[in-house]
Each structure stands twice: as structure tokens, then as C-alpha cells.
Amino acid sequence: MKKILFSVLTLVLGLVLSGGSCITPVNPPDPLFDEGVDINGTIWATRNVDSKGTFASRPEDFGLLYQWNHDFGWQVTGSVSGWVNTESTATIWGVANNPCPPGWKVPTKAQLDALVASGGAWGPRSGVSGYTFGVGANIIFLPAVGARDKTGMPSLSGGHYWASEEVTATPSTAHEISFNESSVNTSNTMNKCSGASVRCVK
């Protein structure tokens, strides 16, 4: 009995002196890597864009808001300075301004439409309101982050996610999808100076 007790005490002392631990460390998600989910033939990232070229840590994290065809992200809440008040004259979101990590890009309107057509439901995830799109194991959660209007003021509730094309009939605006607890709208548009979320595809 004394030998067993001595062995246990020796092991514990060794762990303490060496800084060892019986707890396996949890590695944080890679901000540059996302396995993605195949929905209707398009690979969707499972997390929003955070700062340029990185993903948010978790699917329910907000990430940052982006003005259309810009690669600088803005915080979701609070006041901001330096807001861009001139709409981009581009017709599509330029490669040079892509906020997504390498290998990913802003989705087209057709890809957003197909995502919505895949089905889904409004509901919370880890206490965050949002919409889950897809079927079975092939699903993604889009948090309802809200948006900033063209002056940079937080103004819209629900979820707002950019498409990569402008609205041809109204060049100062671009396509987006929006959703809340009662509806999903694939025909909405926003002024290009507005701030909305980005969910990448490849």
C-alpha cells in the first residue's frame, strides 16, 4: 500500500514540477481554414468573414460588416469613423477587394438564391438568433447580425448578406438576401455604402 501511495505522489509531483497537465488543450479554430458544406453544388463556409481574410471563430459569431466591394470590415455595434460615403462604381465585387480567406469569394445572387431554395428555418444557436439553411448534415447557420445603413448607422435588424453583383437598373445598389423570424427575402437590395455580412463560397 505504501509503495502504491508513494508512486502516486511521485507522479503528481512530477507533473507539478514539469508543468504537465492531464487536461488536453483545445486548439482554437483556424481563422484561415473552413471545411465548408456542400449545398446545391456550392461549397459554403460555415462561418462569417471577420477581419479581411479570416473567418469568425464560431458559426454563431457575428464577424464584421462590409461595405459593398470593399475589403475593410466594420464592427457590428457602436459608432464608427471613416465610413465610406461614395458608392463603388464596379458592377461586380472585385478580386482585389475580396474580404474572404484565400480560395473563397463573395457569393453570386444565384448562389444565394439556391441557398435559400435549399430550405431552412429561423431559430437560435447558442443563444444567437439566425437562420439555418440546408438539409440534413449539409446545413449552415447564418446569424442575424443586423446591418449599417449608408451613413454607417446601425439601423436594420435580422440578417443581411451581400451578393457579389450590383443591381443593373439601380447602380448605386447591390443584391443581398435578408431574413428574420417571419420571412426570407431574396429580392432585397441595399445601397452599396451600407454595411452587411459576408458568407463566402468556393
pLDDT of residue 6: 40
How many angstroms separate the first and last alpha carbons of the chain? 62
Residue 18 confidence (pLDDT) above 80: no
Number of Cβ within a 10 Å radius of residue 83: 16
pLDDT of residue 9: 38
Query: Can you tell me the distance from the alpha carbon of 84 to that of 150, in angstroms, rounded to the nearest whole number?
Result: 9
Range 104-121 average pLDDT:
97
Query: Can you tell me the distance from the alpha carbon of 119 to that of 53, in angstroms, rounded to the nearest whole number?
Result: 29
Residue 144 confidence (pLDDT) above 90: yes
* Strand ranges in 144-194 using DSSP code E only, listed in sequence order: 147-148, 154-156, 159-167, 170-179, 184-185, 189-191
pLDDT of residue 138: 96
The pLDDT mean for the chain works out to 90
pLDDT of residue 27: 63
Q: What is the DSSP letter of 92?
A: B
Rounded (to 5) percent helix, strand, coil in the chain: 15, 30, 55
pLDDT more than 70, % of the chain: 87
- 191 closest CA partner among 49, 81, 68, 65: 68
Q: Please tell me the pTM assigned to this model.
A: 0.86
Q: Residue 26's pLDDT band (boundaries 50, 70, 90)?
A: low
pLDDT of residue 155: 87
Range 181-197 average pLDDT:
96
Query: Can you tell me the distance from the alpha carbon of 125 to that of 130, in angstroms, rounded to the nearest whole number?
Result: 7
Q: Residue 3's pLDDT band (boundaries 50, 70, 90)?
A: very low
Residue 16 confidence (pLDDT) above 80: no
| Annotated domain spans of the chain | 32-196
Residue 81 confidence (pLDDT) above 70: yes
